[in-house]
Amino acid sequence: MDLNVAQKLIEAHLVHGRMQAGEEIGISVDQTLTQDATGTLVMLELEAMGLDYARTKLSVQYVDHNLIQEDYRNADDHLFLRSAAQRFGLWYSRPGNGVSHPCHQENFGKPGCTLLGSDSHTCAAGAIGMLAIGAGGLEVAQAIAGEPFFTRMPEIWGVRLTGSLPDWVSAKDVILEMLRRHGVDGGTCRIIEYHGPGLDGLSAMDRHVIANMGAELGATASVFPSDRETRRFLHAWQRESDWRELLADPHASYDIEEEIDLASLEPLIALPSSPGNVRAVWQVSGEPVHQCYIGSSANPGYRDFAVAAAIMDDKVVHPRVSFDINPTSRAQLELLTREGCVLELLRAGARLHQAGCNGCIGMGQAPATDTFSLRTVPRNFPGRSGTPEDKVCLVSPETAAASALTGQITDPRTLEMTYPRIADPDAPIVNRALFEKPLARGEAATVALHKGPNIASLPEFDALPDAFDLPVLLKMGDNVSTDEILPAGARVLPFRSNIPRIAEFAFERIDDAYAQRAHDTGDHCVVGGSNYGQGSSREHAALAPRFLGLRMVIAKRFARIHAQNLVNFGVLALTFADGGDYDAIESGDVLHVEDIHAALSSGSPLIVRIAAKNRQIEVRHAMTPRQVDYLLHGGALNWTKARLHAA
Ligand code: MIC
């Protein structure tokens, strides 16, 4: 049978189940990626599991998120992560080396391999023919310990690209077009595979831009073939021997088929405050802009900065605009310096920051209240920038640079200049000096974990009760993101390795009295709408509320990674059998549920009783037997410990 690229990748790694959409599959994991904001927990989990040495082919610990060192906390985390990388046999990418996703593609990614990462944008590595999936930290810890990754077999969605991009339109506009068509949950339970003649005009880093923001569509992964362009890219990074061809078979088909004519695209913009709120730039042009921002894992390539430099063309940005340049890696920064782009940008008035995630997750560069900030970052959930009343828009580097010059939202096609079409230089600067190699097994065993005062051990959780009465502490609407459940930003991120402390920020953006109420109440539940928990993979969004007593979430529909994170920490994640029953529950109701164990094991619905209203509601779960087992143990960590103990 002819297979597409996604099917080939899955088939080659399948260790459990069949490739039937919806069935549980287990796939072996070749590589893992962790970053500092999620990685400290992963390392604590490895410690709790008693892992001796990584069992993957390659695992890399990056430090890219928590770079602001206002006090000892983030710096302590860096030391802890370095010691953990040494202890468990991982590569360590030092602070300042760059953002995990482009660095991984450039230095380690390998066509034909699987990659699991504790960051939702791990899917970016699909750009070079990998099956790259974002997941909660616990699953990444399990993968480092040699366990397969389990998920439901997604549908494969083939997107055929034809034509070539017009002047002033670039890869960001392709993924914004996908979001315009399908919204923030259009990719749920799907792998998006890009194919067709339009690929010829997209470089490996352009493909990265598109693959990265598959996360914004809620997709399990984004996949590109490994072709001549992938070979060129790996050759440039002095890794041609890692290349192998991986193409769809000639008669391969897809569960869903779609086409985008690249020539028909125009500059697009996602307006506040959702990546799915997409319009054509010309429809909103003229609005005053106060910040324009280039960088992040969603536009990380040389081209993305160089095109902005060329657009500056000896001009100076509008006096109102803060023009923030966030280089994505030290290697790119060196290259941009060599090619003269840094000078161009600085002369135009750019504010040059260190290589890292920075303002993308509110680590600095917060915009002024109620002003437009045009950014090339992947997401613009409310308040994520660090400013509660923010107005962040997602755009291409071309649109950001054009708007920086004029001080208003500007369609770059209206600039009076020839489009500076930028090609990657033949020889990038390959500088691997800030990557530290894993220690050999014997030496690794002698390393002690370096724990500063901010690093608290993981809390222990009890098993799932068979019945409970749970007050509803919050009722939320659709598309609540994990940024709203547990914020990032300079104020909160330093507590990522301290669950009791970070729990104080839980749901702060939605209801700042939640943490206190939860603290006073103990066991409780919350209610969500559709696509609950979209966005970041941070398991803190499940773990911190669980620490405060969250035992159950009932929603219309869950986003994939957050649903798994809830299960991993022993929180019951249920959906309404009849979506209309969402209206029957209010904050303050007390929900009675019983015979939970039998219902979970048999797969039958559960009945939720609201005694005060004399009302009962049917709820369901979509968990696999493995997930039910995790839950009954009180979470995946308890389950893994029990397994290791029994062995
Ligand atoms: C994000 O872009 O939201 C993050 C910050 O990279 C997260 C990870 C995190 O919360 O640490 C993600 O995408 O998973």
Residue 357 Cα: closest atom of ligand 1:
6
Predicted pLDDT of residue 49: 87
Q: Average of pLDDT values for 573-599?
A: 97
Whether residue 419 is contained in a domain is answered as no
Assess whether 255 and 388 both reside in one domain.
no
The answer on pLDDT for 620 being more than 80 is yes
Ramachandran category for residue 500: left, alpha or beta (phi over 0 → left; psi -120 to 50 → alpha): alpha
Cα–Cα distance measured from residue 411 to residue 268, given in angstroms and rounded to the nearest whole number: 9
Reported as a single tens digit per residue, the pLDDT across 172-208 is 999 999 999 999 999 999 999 999 999 999 999 999 9
Asked whether 33 and 115 are in contact (CB, 8 A), the reply is yes
Whether residue 426 is contained in a domain is answered as no
**Domain boundary residue among 236, 264, 292?**
264
Question: Residue 638: pLDDT band by 50, 70, 90 thresholds?
Answer: confident
Determine the 3-state secondary structure of 473 from DSSP: strand
The answer on pLDDT for 572 being more than 80 is yes
Cα–Cα distance measured from residue 447 to residue 122, given in angstroms and rounded to the nearest whole number: 29
Residue 561 Cα: closest atom of ligand 1:
14
- Which among 33, 36, 38 is the best mutation to test ligand 1's pocket, defined by most ligand atoms within 8 Å of the CB? 38
From ligand 1's centre to the CA of 329, what distance in Å? 17
From ligand 1's centre to the CA of 2, what distance in Å? 36
Asked whether 25 and 17 are in contact (CB, 8 A), the reply is yes
Q: Average of pLDDT values for 243-264?
A: 98
Average pLDDT over the chain, rounded to an integer: 97
Asked whether 595 and 467 are in contact (CB, 8 A), the reply is yes
Cα–Cα distance measured from residue 113 to residue 13, given in angstroms and rounded to the nearest whole number: 8
Pocket residues: Cβ below 6 A from ligand 1: 37-38, 65, 119-121, 134, 361, 488, 535-538
The answer on pLDDT for 220 being more than 70 is yes
Whether residue 591 is contained in a domain is answered as yes
Predicted pLDDT of residue 426: 85
From ligand 1's centre to the CA of 538, what distance in Å? 6
Assess whether 122 and 108 both reside in one domain.
yes
The CA R_g of the chain, rounded to the nearest whole Å, is 24
Give the single-character DSSP code of 127: G
Assess whether 231 and 133 both reside in one domain.
yes
Cβ-count burial 608-631 (b if 16+ within 10 Å, e if not): bbbeeeeeebebebebbeebbbbb
Predicted pLDDT of residue 645: 66
- Write down the residue that tokens 């107005």 correspond to: 391
Predicted pLDDT of residue 647: 65
- Which among 120, 363, 376, 496 is the best mutation to test ligand 1's pocket, defined by most ligand atoms within 8 Å of the CB? 120
Q: Is cis: bond before 273, omega within 30 of 0?
A: yes
pTM of the model: 0.98
The amino acid sitting at 257 is: E
From ligand 1's centre to the CA of 62, what distance in Å? 13
**Domain boundary residue among 399, 414, 429?**
414
Burial status of residue 357 (CB atoms within 10 A of its CB: 0-12, 13-18, 19 or more): buried
The answer on pLDDT for 557 being more than 90 is yes
The answer on pLDDT for 567 being more than 80 is yes
Residue 377 Cα: closest atom of ligand 1:
2
- Which among 74, 538, 561, 564 is the best mutation to test ligand 1's pocket, defined by most ligand atoms within 8 Å of the CB? 538
Burial status of residue 181 (CB atoms within 10 A of its CB: 0-12, 13-18, 19 or more): middle
Whether residue 100 is contained in a domain is answered as yes
From ligand 1's centre to the CA of 536, what distance in Å? 4
**Helices in 359-495 by DSSP H: which ranges?**
397-406, 441-444, 482-485
* For ligand 1, atom 6: residue with the closest CA: 119
CATH number, domain containing residue 282 = 3.30.499.10
* For ligand 1, atom 10: residue with the closest CA: 538
Residue 118 Cα: closest atom of ligand 1:
14
Enumerate residues 6+ apart whose C-beta is below 8 A from 166: 263, 265, 266
Assess whether 215 and 325 both reside in one domain.
no
Cα–Cα distance measured from residue 575 to residue 431, given in angstroms and rounded to the nearest whole number: 49
From ligand 1's centre to the CA of 35, what distance in Å? 9
- Write down the residue that tokens 């409310």 correspond to: 382
In degrees rounded to 5, what are phi and psi of residue 576? -70, 130
% of the chain at pLDDT higher than 70 = 100
Assess whether 44 and 193 both reside in one domain.
yes
Whether residue 455 is contained in a domain is answered as no
Q: Average of pLDDT values for 533-562?
A: 97
Cα–Cα distance measured from residue 278 to residue 257, given in angstroms and rounded to the nearest whole number: 22
**Full 3-state SS string of 192-231:** EEEECHHHHHCCHHHHHHHHHHHHHHCECEEECCECHHHH
Whether residue 423 is contained in a domain is answered as no
Asked whether 110 and 234 are in contact (CB, 8 A), the reply is no
What is the tally of structural domains in the chain?
Answer: 3
Residue 537 Cα: closest atom of ligand 1:
14
From ligand 1's centre to the CA of 522, what distance in Å? 28
Assess whether 405 and 484 both reside in one domain.
no
**Domain boundary residue among 238, 264, 290?**
264
The answer on pLDDT for 644 being more than 70 is no
CATH number, domain containing residue 486 = 3.20.19.10
* For ligand 1, atom 12: residue with the closest CA: 536
Nearest to 52 by CA among 146, 172, 139, 173: 146
Whether residue 438 is contained in a domain is answered as no
From ligand 1's centre to the CA of 38, what distance in Å? 8
- Give, for 525, the enclosing helix (H) or strand (E): strand 524-527
Residue 594's domain spans which residues?
468-646
Residue 215 Cα: closest atom of ligand 1:
13
Asked whether 428 and 331 are in contact (CB, 8 A), the reply is yes
Assess whether 260 and 272 both reside in one domain.
no
Q: Following DSSP, what letter does each residue of 568-606 receive, concatenated?
A: HTT-EEEEESSGGGGGG--TT-EEEE--HHHHHHHT--E
Asked whether 525 and 554 are in contact (CB, 8 A), the reply is yes
Assess whether 384 and 343 both reside in one domain.
yes
The amino acid sitting at 473 is: L
Q: Average of pLDDT values for 273-286?
A: 98
* For ligand 1, atom 1: residue with the closest CA: 536
Cα–Cα distance measured from residue 411 to residue 610, given in angstroms and rounded to the nearest whole number: 54
Assess whether 301 and 198 both reside in one domain.
no
Residue 134 Cα: closest atom of ligand 1:
14
% of the chain at pLDDT higher than 90 = 96
Whether residue 518 is contained in a domain is answered as yes
Q: Average of pLDDT values for 561-587?
A: 97
Assess whether 26 and 174 both reside in one domain.
yes
Assess whether 392 and 478 both reside in one domain.
no
Assess whether 27 and 154 both reside in one domain.
yes
The answer on pLDDT for 598 being more than 70 is yes
Using alpha carbons only, what angle is made at residue 490 by residues 488 and 491, rounded to the nearest 5 degrees?
Answer: 85
Question: Residue 456: pLDDT band by 50, 70, 90 thresholds?
Answer: confident
Cα–Cα distance measured from residue 382 to residue 371, given in angstroms and rounded to the nearest whole number: 13
Question: Residue 212: pLDDT band by 50, 70, 90 thresholds?
Answer: very high
Reported as a single tens digit per residue, the pLDDT across 79-132 is 999 999 999 999 999 999 999 999 999 999 999 999 999 999 999 999 999 999
Asked whether 539 and 499 are in contact (CB, 8 A), the reply is no
Predicted pLDDT of residue 640: 82
The answer on pLDDT for 446 being more than 80 is yes
Predicted pLDDT of residue 642: 80
The answer on pLDDT for 454 being more than 90 is no
Q: Average of pLDDT values for 287-306?
A: 98
Enumerate residues 6+ apart whose C-beta is below 8 A from 608: 554, 591, 592, 593, 616, 617, 618, 619
- Which among 394, 536, 560 is the best mutation to test ligand 1's pocket, defined by most ligand atoms within 8 Å of the CB? 536
